[in-house]
Amino acid sequence: MDQTFMKEKKILPLVLSMSLPMVISMAVNSLYNIVDSYFVAKLSEDAMTALALVYPVQNLINAIAIGFAIGINACAAFYLGAGKQKQATQAATQGMFLNFLHGVILTLLSLAGMPAFLRMFSSDETVIRLALAYANRAFLFAVFITLGLSFEKIFQSVGRMQVSMFCMMCGFIANIILDPLMIFGIGPFPAMGIAGAAYATGIGQCFSLLVYLLFYFFRPIPLKISRSALKPEKEVIAKMYSIGVSATLTMALPSLLISVLNGILSGFSGAYVLVLGAYYKLQTFIYLTANGIIQGIRPLMGYNYGAGESERVREIYRTSLKLIMGVMLVGTLLSWIIPGQLIGLFTTSPQTIKIGITALHIISLGFVVSAVSVTSSGALEGLGKAKPALYISLLRYVVIIIPAAFLFSRFAGAAGVWSAFCFSEFVTAGCSLLIYRKAVRT
C-alpha cells in the first residue's frame, strides 16, 4: 500500500499506468447514456427528445457528485504525499458522509423541480410525460450514485485505478444487459419503455457501488472510513469544498449551456434539439475518455505537489496534454469519416441525420485545441488551485460560447450555434494557457 511510486516512477509510464484504466473506465461510463439513448431511440423520436431534455439535470446531479468527490480525491492525495495520514483519513470519511447528504438533497430537489423545468423547454405533453417517466425513476438512485463516485475517487487517490475500471465495467455490463430486457419486456420483465431505461441505469450504478464495497472490505487501502474520523475538521472540509465546488461548476456548466442552447435551437425545430442531445451523448465518449487521463493525473499532481516535486508536476502536465490532443484528434477524424453513422444511432430521419452531420463537421474543428483548456483545468484541480480552474470553465461554457451562440444564430441560423462551439474552444485555449502559467507561478 506504498504510494511513493507516484514520485519515483518515470513520467510517461506512470501517467499511462494511472490513466489507461481510467480512460477505459470513462469510455465505459460514457456508454451508460449512449446505450440508454440507443435503445430509447428504438421507441420513438419523442422518447429520444425526452431523454435529451432530462440530460442537463442528470448531468448536474453527476457533476455535483463527481465534483465533490474530486475534492475528496485531491485532498486525500495531497495529504498522503505530504505524509499526513490523519488528515487523509478525515478527508475520506467526512467526504463520504457529506456526499451522501448531497445525494439525499439532490433526489428531493430533482423530483420536485422536474415538471417545471421541462415545461420551460417543451409544450409537447407527450414528450413531457415521457421525460417525467424517465426522470422520476432515474433520480431515485442519486444517493447510490454519490456514494459510488466517492468510493471511486478514494480508490483513485491511492493509485488503485484498476479497481475503478473494474467496478465501472461491472455496472455497465449490468446496464447493457438490463436495458433491452426492461425497455422491451424480454423474459420475466414487463415492457416498461423509457422507464425501463431509467431502472436499468440505476441498477447498474448500484451494482458498481456493491463491487466497490466488496473491494473496500476484502482488499484494504490506506484510507479507511471510520467513525473516529467523522468529527468535522474545518481545514479538511474547507479544502474539499473549495476544490469540489470548482470541479462541480466545471461539470455543471455544460448543463446550463445545453439548457440555453436548447432554448435557442427550439426556435428553429425540435430536430435541432434532438441533434444537440445526440451530439452530447457522442461527445461524452470523446471528452470522458480525455477526462480519464485527467482523472489519472489528478492524484499524481496532488501527490507530487504535496511532496514538493515541482519539475515532475510540470512534466506530468506536458505529457497529459499530448495524450489528450491525441484523443481529440481521433474524435475529429470520426466526426468527419462516419458522421452519418454516429447520428444514425439516435434517429432514422434523413433530415435529422443531415442536420447532425453538419453539426459534427463544424463542432469537431475545435476538438484538438480544446485539449489545452481540458488539461489546464484538470491539472489545476489536482494542484488544489480551484479558482483558476473555475475561470477556465466559465470561459469555456458561459462567458464566450453563450453570447457567441446568440449572436451567430442571428446571422447563420442553427449552424451559427454549431460554429459557436468551435469559436469558443479556440478563444478559451489561449486564455487557459495564460491562466495556468500564472497560477503555477503563484
Residue 369 half-sphere exposure, CB side, CA atoms within 13 Å? 18
Determine the Cα–Cα distance for residues 120 and 233; give it in Å rounded to an integer.
Answer: 41
Q: Per residue in 146-165, pLDDT tens?
A: 999 899 888 888 878 888 88
Q: What is the pTM of this model?
A: 0.72
| pLDDT digits 0-9 by tens, 181-234 | 999 988 888 889 889 988 998 999 999 999 999 999 988 887 888 888 888 888
C-alpha cell at 414: 442553427
Q: Which residues of 257-290 are buried (b: 16+ CB within 10 A; e: fewer)?
A: bbbbbbebbbeeebbbbbbbbbbbbbbbbbbbbb
Q: Is 291 exposed, middle or buried (0-12, 13-18, 19+ CB in 10 A)?
A: buried
Indicate whether 177 pLDDT > 80.
yes
Position 78 confidence tier, pLDDT thresholds 50, 70, 90? confident
Res 349: pLDDT: 85
**SS3 at position 54:** helix
What is the separation, in whole angstroms, between the first and last Cα of the chain? 33
* Structure confidence by residue, pLDDT tens digits, 231-278: 888 888 888 888 888 778 777 787 788 888 988 888 887 788 888 888
Give the separation between CA 404 and CA 299, rounded to whole angstroms: 35
Q: What is the mean pLDDT of the chain?
A: 86
- 324-334: pLDDT as tens digits: 999 899 999 99
- Within 13 Å, how many C-alpha atoms sit on residue 268's CB side? 21
Radius of gyration of the chain (CA): 21
